[in-house]
Chain A
């Protein structure tokens, strides 16, 4: 048995290995949640670019508040929504380091709206990874600024009534309009193909940070929150494709500082 395994585990058969930039800590995410995949591909990109030792990450408040338990690099934990200001403080004083924030939709598009828009508008040179699951996952599934019209949450139990609760906010389209953003894209991580695309986008974002002095590189990942949506992981991904993607269409929105015309 042991021999059989060691035969399988040889270099020729090696198609995947865990990046050393992820720790061995057990992920605190619900099984089926997209956060873990988003973490992994971000860390794989840092490893592939060889920049893990010079990167400082900023964790948000949200389900990914403990990102620093899983990402094996120097990290700071920011107050709710303030990650772009914290990252500004790091990058401005350590311009040769690589800096990124990892934020949820409540963090980035509700309480942190001002910090997000102004960091983008100033053209700060760091990467923002924005995991949009249309809900406040961590606090138990309340309505987020990204919750779809009609979508149920614990604070919109009869569905989001846009006349009472306002409309969902497309933060990514909004910041793409700002002169301070260089690369703005929307991706997903629910299929192997999407994971590869999302990883390529994250790589481009970090490469831009390395190659240019200015400009936010912003990668939105539309993701599921199977627990908050009260669905099985498989069903949540189907629901996401059917309902989230029409409202939050995938693809590049701004490349090399130019808006992509669709």
Chain B
């Protein structure tokens, strides 16, 4: 059994990273996620597990440090918030192209631009559709609690190494800043050099005479080979879509109306459902845990049962596009969400369900 602690979501990511045997964290301060690097600097894991913690000169440098470490087979991660994640897109695209495993946490704040430091879910498109240039996807995990902030660190690395792809934890300022109970897992030792060479034979660890040189690159100037590479990436994403979808169904058995919400909004939706049921409105919640791959099948299945779907997101409506695609626009799907850092209340969410879905 692990250790029980009261922590902020950001601190939970940092503590989980130390316990997961992560080799390196490279970051740059930005609200509302600076606690990640602050916590690591206080804990000094470089003196205990040997984990490297470095404050880079920018988010661009940080993601490229992750690139270097990941390309050498190390478990490397970074975290930031929206404006900083925008700066990382170049590096993420390169890592997707070069097929490098890594973990990136985005503690989303309101935008566009410098926006606000308050929570938002407006980076859904950027996270799930690619974000940088080229045809690629990350695996995107959406924690809804401090517990999941911690759990998704090792889960994220497992997926990253399984598929050799960047993985993103897409949370927001609410989950990053709020304090909750969290059960921390036991310490997993960092991989030894020998384990790295065995686990990641593709990594640049120094070329012995016994093998060809390892090259990590996203470049291939030959269009036909580059197309082959793209086909290979697309196969990988297809496999991810087939095997790695995760979601949670809450009070869906008898539901006549469905909320689809992830992260903070899924917590608000649960309260809205409770309020609704007190009034006799039978609503349920489908909470995507993976945003890429998206739980389209589950939504399609539930659409046979319910009369309408409300997408609840702290944005102008981004995930709603994936919900509509899931049901082939054959059912009423509407969006509700506050923007710019404003958090919708359960009452507002229920009212939106009544007006846009039940009454509309």
Residues of A whose CB lies within 8 Å of any CB of B are: 52-56, 58-59, 65-66, 68, 72-79, 82, 85-90, 92-94, 97, 114-115, 118
Provide the B178-221 mask, 1 if CB < 8 A to any CB of A, else 0.
00000000000000000000000000111111000111111100
Please name the residue on chain B nearest to A54 by beta carbon. B206
Q: Is the CB of B72 within 8 A of A77?
A: no
Given the known interface contacts A53-B207, A90-B71, A97-B206, the answer about A85 and B76 at a Cβ–Cβ threshold of 8 Å is no
Given the known interface contacts A52-B207, A76-B204, the answer about A89 and B60 at a Cβ–Cβ threshold of 8 Å is no
- Residues of A contacting B205 in the complex (Cβ-Cβ under 8 angstroms): 56, 74, 94, 97
B54 CB to closest chain A CB (Å) equals 6
Provide the B127-155 mask, 1 if CB < 8 A to any CB of A, else 0.
00000000000000000000000000000
Given the known interface contacts A54-B206, A56-B72, A93-B23, the answer about A86 and B67 at a Cβ–Cβ threshold of 8 Å is yes
How far, in whole Å, are A90 and B24 apart by their CA atoms in the complex? 10
- Residues of A contacting B58 in the complex (Cβ-Cβ under 8 angstroms): 114
Q: Is the CB of B206 within 8 A of A78?
A: no
Q: Is the CB of B61 within 8 A of A114?
A: yes
Interface of B is mostly: mixed
A52 CB to closest chain B CB (Å) equals 7
Q: Is the CB of B207 within 8 A of A68?
A: no
Interface residue? B159 (CB, 8 A): no
Q: Is the CB of A88 within 8 A of B206?
A: no
Provide the B330-344 mask, 1 if CB < 8 A to any CB of A, else 0.
000000000000000
- Among A53, A66, A73, A93, the one with the most B-chain Cβ atoms within 10 Å of its Cβ is A93
- Residues of A contacting B66 in the complex (Cβ-Cβ under 8 angstroms): 89
Q: Is the CB of B52 within 8 A of A75?
A: no
14 contacts between A and B (CB under 8 A): A58-B68, A73-B206, A74-B206, A75-B215, A76-B68, A78-B67, A79-B90, A85-B56, A85-B60, A89-B66, A89-B76, A92-B69, A93-B69, A114-B58
Q: Is the CB of A79 within 8 A of B207?
A: no
Given the known interface contacts A89-B67, A90-B72, A93-B24, the answer about A75 and B209 at a Cβ–Cβ threshold of 8 Å is no
- Residues of B contacting A65 in the complex (Cβ-Cβ under 8 angstroms): 219
- Residues of B contacting A92 in the complex (Cβ-Cβ under 8 angstroms): 24, 52, 54, 65, 69
Q: Report which of B68, B206, B214, B215 forms a contact with A89, defined as CB distance below 8 A.
A: B68
How far, in whole Å, are A53 and B76 apart by their CA atoms in the complex? 23
- Residues of B contacting A68 in the complex (Cβ-Cβ under 8 angstroms): 213, 215, 217
Provide the B104-148 mask, 1 if CB < 8 A to any CB of A, else 0.
000000000000000000000000000000000000000000000
